[in-house]
Copies of this chain bind each other. A is one copy, B any other.
């Protein structure tokens, strides 16, 4: 398989088999080592504070953690050649979040949200990603910084 095929298969697999992401309506829309993306729509069940009608901070953290994990996964794959489904699974088996910081910049209001992630420190064992959450108007809702185990 070439890498575009692998990214497409992983996107489908992750979108269809991760219960918590499905519960929140998170959808990976770009699985790419340069910049990955996750989209989700407003739903009333994502409300934290019923008075203010804004996203619970945990929704923001979940979307940022997911998109950071996607870009970290894409960078693991980018480092290897001659990949098969089995070797991809093996390479991704150790992927996990070590720590993450979320900075909440504005109340989480909007109809549609876009989380993006880029790698700021690569490596064969640990990768660090920076993530952002914007709404459909381009308002910047949150920043994230995540350190991921990748090997």
Contacts and interface: CB of A to CB of B under 8 A. Distances in A.
Interface size class of A (residues with CB under 8 A): 35 or more
Interface stretch (A27-35, A78-86, A119-127): A119-127
A20 B57 CA distance: 10
A23 B23 contact: yes
Instruction: Please tell me how many copies of the chain the complex holds.
Output: 4
A47 interface: yes
Contact of A48 (B18, B49, B57): B18
Contacts of A61: 57-58, 61-62, 65, 100, 102
Given A20-B47, A96-B104, A99-B128, 6 more contacts: A17-B50, A20-B46, A23-B45, A57-B97, A58-B58, A101-B145
